[in-house]
Structure 1
């Protein structure tokens, strides 16, 4: 029940809640860096620390809501039928947009496969494959990188392919020797184009190539080696410690890049920018990896968040309630509360302002009174000796009288109270 008397409010509660910190709940020490995450409760947090503080598991990185469609981070751009570029085929499929061509929009008239079967043009330049040379309207001189060698020898293994001229060759090498592009990797005639759904459920074929789905692998007459992208059984963790490959693509971690047989250019997301140049000023900071850096720039260059702006370890600051219950320290100085004295590592000489007076002599009579500090004293004399005003006669507690000023505090019950008095009354 709430009662108003002059400027004071009276509350009566059943329990006494201690104050954990002098601000709204929850009480947490988190870096001020913005790296948003979305919690399983659908709420967005500034970074993972704040989500943990609220005891909420992280559903996904980035702003809420989380996207249902999860795609690899690899950058293999495609152009959608709507004229927009997408990061890869999966992202386009998630948006339910058909792919018009590989590469960024707009689509070029000449579309070639990504296969690397180098040829040497009549102009002395090397091209990725016969198709690329044809698009440039350059005749092919030989089926290798420039310069052309006198001869090329083909193995006698029987892996028939069908050329664009409708002829079947014993293997790809014989087709190249005939300066013929490959239409399909089977005997002629080539099967009709696959009518597969545009869903992205990658599989690794027995030819160690990744197909968008089982349907596409089956259409290419290739068996399934394992679900997911090639290679199989890499055993890589899902930790995101990005590296940039020599092919200009970003991989989730070093293991993933090695699995793709790609050399690492730098240990961060692509592109690989020049190394950080930081000022030679010493303003130490402690990173979230518990390592001390010379200044904020050096930590940022390592992509490390700042835990506190001083040397490691980060010691939580001394937080005292905003109350005035003066004590006199052994150093002869008056402190606003016992907490303030403890924060300065000063012992308490007496429980009032300096200087400390001689001890009071009170009668041994028991007439209990409740002091303004919510402590029961044997009689009024003993309360006066402690320089405590009497709130009411008899044992504590009296009805709570709290000041109307707002100074939010967080209780041990993880609730926010109007000020410290309200917390004590609770």
Structure 2
């Protein structure tokens, strides 16, 4: 049934093997010459049609547990039409063969289901930065800060084949329609090359990740190049473009003009400053590729690592690493109920149901806000999730009732800017008891001392040794939020999982057990870092004092300034110093996009986001996992899962829980002296994360550690007013830098 001889030979060899599983069979066929698994292809459909075949019966338990593709299954809630929602659920649960064609015809080709279509595309072909190595679509090369869904050699070959076919048949194929071409000087080969490459390479709009061609471009091409005398009267340029272009002229779209000429403004030497080593799937079929941004300083190491993972369904291309908890829809459940499962050495198992939640709107007085929406209440950013109104706790300068607030300090609850740090029972450090109480901690949940080594106050049983294991729990229901672990002195450390730690002498151990048995003191969790200072106290942007820069980076926290923390910064939306008694380090580029994090003293360069999350979602997951590890519901787990979405090796993600009850995340360059392109790439990666969260991509909704995120707000700015007395940047220079960024963004 395949038209590829190598694929047929591989198929015969595999099917002659008596012992095989459906998953291994599909993987072997994919790498054995049959190409990517596409269920719209009849060849691949054969392996799911007959439940009596041995392979299907072996895979049947996997399908019933995970579905055909549970990541795309999450998209079904995005359907506008109830019929499409039902067809989507049936298609991606276990009835692909029966419903795929109907689902594609009635739903995926409809303009009204654009959100559903984009969600499904985001699973297998996420929008990623950069495009290079193309031999036909060369106008798409060397664009390191633009987004593309399918910048691959396969897509490049497909575009070449498209153009050859159109020229040979003298017709243009678009979404199942064959459009006859007329001879016209305006229909040049370069134009059709741009069309074919745009359809195959799929550039994405910046904030919405849509791949729709601009309506004006579509109308121009079809009006000038199609011989309408040979077409049925039911089809016109306007009717066809209505199906592939946004109706709203202000909506984001892809302009063919941008790709009709070479990208001369971004030469190859600039594009080489940004690299994405996981492009091209360098790992094995059962492994997840994870960018290693510790290599960005020219160290001799592999810029990525491969970890054993699990596919979210028999035909899913989306994988999560070993140990990840995922959310999977429960089939035949009209309420959209979910279960939590764990990726365990390549298998999805240990499933247990979550409490079912109705995705109801939120009531705000006499008004309603739909589920999934974001909105503003006074100066606070808010979102609605399943009837829960989630808002930051920013102190507004004015009140609708009383006018200007005379006690306005910029800090939540108008707390005074006193720095008398306390430690919350959730493991988070707060600048003062006032701010801790404003964050809804009770007196019993506040230790009126800074967060310190938990092993100084906690005692382990005789024969055990205490090792610090600090974490920030995202819910006050997470009790106890244990900050240490007790290691049995009689344990054989070699039999424990690899979980490296670094001691205070910068020596690395395979896990905490080896550290404890060596009587060493913990410096920080994770491997020893090489591109940072390993001594000398620093203050993190979270207001917590760390023993070294390396210790802060290992905790995924940016450094605010050198030395111990001494102040809390007044909060603003600008990129300016906020503490008069603190000396801030000079920025690598004073005109970079960035911001001063809330409560911090010094500005930073990089893309910056404020994330809202649902505490009720965290509480529901805690209830479901009460007999298992709940570390996946900590701040560190959330940040690490978010960082996996960063594909540029020159960028790293850091963040903290703010006093305003949201999560501040920054994507910063790992280079000591980053170029403009590298700075821009990190900003674009941050904006990509914001889009994934706001669109509730399956890459967010599927993972338990990320599923509580409800909204992301971009907060980086180019404002440099008042940065320092010595950095008075002329406005002409600022305009020049802004023009460069705009040029790179084209």
Q: TM-score, normalised by structure 1?
A: 0.26
- More helix by percentage: 2
Q: Radius of gyration: which is bigger?
A: 1
